[in-house]
Structure 1
C-alpha cells in the first residue's frame, strides 16, 4: 500500500523541507498515522494485531508538506499492568517511530488511544484508579521531556465518562507531566468523543464547555484536542458528508469558547469518504482552522496508515502511488503561507 521511495528520494524530501526548528513554531498540519492502536486483542502480537507506521508512510506525509503526525497507540501495550515498568520492546517501537518522524522534521502528537479506559475499564473506577493513569504519565513524560517537537495528548476521545468524572483524571495526568519536569505542550480532550458539536451538550455535572474550564496546568502550556466528522451522526462511519454546515457551526462555537476562555485548540481528527460533498467539507474545515492561527495550533486528518486497505477515510496513497482524493482536497491548505501561519500564535508559550 505504501509508496516505494529510494534513500535518495528521502534525502530530497529532507532538503526540500528540512527539520523544523523548535523556534519556528509553525502551525501544525498533518495526518493521523494509525496502526499501533489497532486490534481488540490486548496486549496483542506486533505484526499480527497491530503495527506502527512505516518510514515510507511518514516520508510520504512529509513529502506532501505535512509537519505533524498524531500517533495513536494503546496504553495496555506499553504498560501491561498498572503501576508496572513499561514494556521495553514496545517502548523501543514507539521511540523508533518518533525518531523517524522527528528526523524528517515532523512534530509528533503522542496519543494513548484508550477512550479513557484500560483493559475496557473506565479510568476513575475501582478497577482503574486515577492514580494508575497518573502513573502512566509519570513514566512516559520524562522520556520525551523538553522537546517542542513532541506533544503530549493525555488521552484519545474519552467516551464513557462525563466531563465531571474526566476532569480530575486529566488534571492528575497534567500534574505528573509537570512534576516530571516535562515542559512539552499538552493536549487535553473533552468527553463525548471530544466532538466540537458536543462541546456544549448537556451532561450530568456540566457540559465540556462548563467543566473543562477547570483544567489546571502549572505551566499554562496546554490546549484542547477537538474532533469533528461531517456525516449524519458525526462519527465518520457514514458515507455522506451531510452535516458539514453543522460541523462548521460547532467548530466556530468552539473557536469562540477558546477565545472567551483564553485557550487554544488542535483538531486531532476529522475526515470524510471519497465523494464530492466530503471534499468540499474537508476544504471548509481546514480553511476555517487555517484562518485562526491565534486559536488553532493545527490539525491532523484521519487517517494514514499501512494497514488501511480500502478503508473509506484513508489518506494512505493508493497501490500505484497516487494520492487519495481526500489528500488532493486538503493539499492546497497544508502549506504555511502567511507570517502568522509560519509563526503560530497559538503555539507560543504564555
Structure 2
C-alpha cells in the first residue's frame, strides 16, 4: 500500500470510527435483521433456499440471511476438495442473499462435530477444521457481505477445546486473505442465558476472552430460546424469559468492548411467546452499541408446520403470524454498515 493510499485508508477508518460511535450513541438501530433459511443442514435432503424465499424476506425489510449447511455435505472427506454440486449450491445461495446490498451468514451447522466426532479430537483435528475454513475463505473472501459463522452451537465439550479450534479456524481465514466479519459461538449451545454459568465447564464469559483475531473483525454469536429449559423445542414461552436472559451477556459485551449477534431465537404463535420476543428484541435495540442484530429461526421449504417457521403459505401470499411481531422492529430500519477498502469497518 502506498503512503498516500495508506493515509487515505486511515482517514476513512477514523471517520468510520467517529460515525459509528455517534450512531451507537444517538440511534437504536441494529445493523443486521433477518432469518435463518434452513434446509441444507438436514440429513435427509438437500433443500437449499430458493430465490423466491430471499425475495419474500427482503420485501419484509430483512437484510441478512443465515444459511445453515452440513459440513459433511460440502466436504465429504476431510482435507479434500468440496463436493462441486454442493459448493455451487452454497455459492448460489450466498449470491442470492447478498444481492441488492444484503448479507449472508454461512453456517456450518454441525455442533462442533464432523460425522459425530468432536472438533479438536484425534478424529477431527483443529487442522482439519482450519483446512475446511481455508477453503470457505477462498470461496468468499472477495465478497465483504459474507459473514463467516464458524460453527453452529458447540456443546458437550471443554470450553477451552472449542476456543482452541475456533482460534485455529480464525488464523486460517486470515491467512487466506479474508477480511470478512467472523462470528464466534460459545460452548453449551452458545446460550445467552448461560454465558456466565459454569455447569458446562469454564464459562464462556471467561474462556471466550482467549479468542484472538489478527484482523480484529469478529463478534460473538449467541442463541436464545424462551421455553422453560431454553431448548426451543416446545410451544411454551415463559413471559419472564425475554430481555432478562440477555442482561448478563449484554453487560459482559459492554465491559469487554465486544460485539454480539443473536443468531437464533424464536417463539410459537401465542401471547406469552410474543411477549418474550418483543421484550428480547427491544433489549437488543436498546443496546445496539454492543448488539449487531438478529436472525430468526427459521424458514425454509422443508419445515412444514414447524412451530417456529416463518415460511409463508399460499404461494408466498400469506404471512405466518409471527412475522407481524418482527415487522414492528423491521419498520425501524437498520444502520448503514460502513466499509473501508471494500470491507466493514468494525470496532471491537
TM over 0.5: yes
Please tell me whether residue 255 in structure 1 is matched to residue 250 in structure 2: yes
The alignment partner of 2:303 has SS state of coil
Instruction: Tell me, in whole angstroms, the C-alpha distance in 1 between the residues paired with 2:131 and 2:196.
Output: 31
Equivalent of residue 288 in structure 1, options 278, 283, 286: 283
Q: Note the 1:77-226 alignment, pairs <5 A.
A: 77-203=73-199, 206-226=202-222
Please tell me whether residue 349 in structure 1 is matched to residue 327 in structure 2: no
**TM-fit CA distance, 1:104:** 3.8
Partner residue, 1:30: 34
CA contact (8 A) 1:115 1:160 kept: no
CA contact (8 A) 1:163 1:203 kept: no
Instruction: Tell me, in whole angstroms, the C-alpha distance in 2 between the residues paired with 1:134 and 1:241.
Output: 38
Q: Mark the runs of 5 or more structure 2 residues left unpaired by the alignment.
A: 1-15, 21-29
Instruction: Tell me, in whole angstroms, the C-alpha distance in 1 between the residues paired with 2:282 and 2:92.
Output: 33
CA contact (8 A) 1:162 1:203 kept: no
The alignment partner of 1:197 has SS state of coil
CA contact (8 A) 1:122 1:160 kept: no
- TM-score w.r.t. the length of structure 2 is 0.86
**TM-fit CA distance, 1:336:** 4.2
Equivalent of residue 261 in structure 2, options 245, 266, 288: 266
**TM-fit CA distance, 1:286:** 1.3
Please tell me whether residue 278 in structure 1 is matched to residue 278 in structure 2: no
Number of matched residues? 317
Partner residue, 2:228: 232
Instruction: Tell me, in whole angstroms, the C-alpha distance in 2 between the residues paired with 1:66 and 1:225.
Output: 18
CA contact (8 A) 2:188 2:200 kept: no
- TM-score w.r.t. the length of structure 1 is 0.86
Q: Deviations over 1:118-163 (max 9, x none)?
A: 0011111111111101110011112111433100000000012121
Instruction: Tell me, in whole angstroms, the C-alpha distance in 1 between the residues paired with 2:323 and 2:84.
Output: 35
**TM-fit CA distance, 1:204:** 6.3
What is the CA RMSD across the aligned residues, in angstroms?
2.1
Q: Mark the runs of 5 or more structure 1 residues left unpaired by the alignment.
A: 1-21, 42-48
**TM-fit CA distance, 1:203:** 4.6
CA contact (8 A) 1:27 1:336 kept: no
Q: Deviations over 1:240-280 (max 9, x none)?
A: 111x4244222111011001111000000000111111112
Consecutive aligned runs of 4 or more in structure 1 exceeding 6 Å deviation: none
Instruction: Tell me, in whole angstroms, the C-alpha distance in 2 between the residues paired with 1:204 and 1:92.
Output: 38
Instruction: Tell me, in whole angstroms, the C-alpha distance in 2 between the residues paired with 1:83 and 1:343.
Output: 35
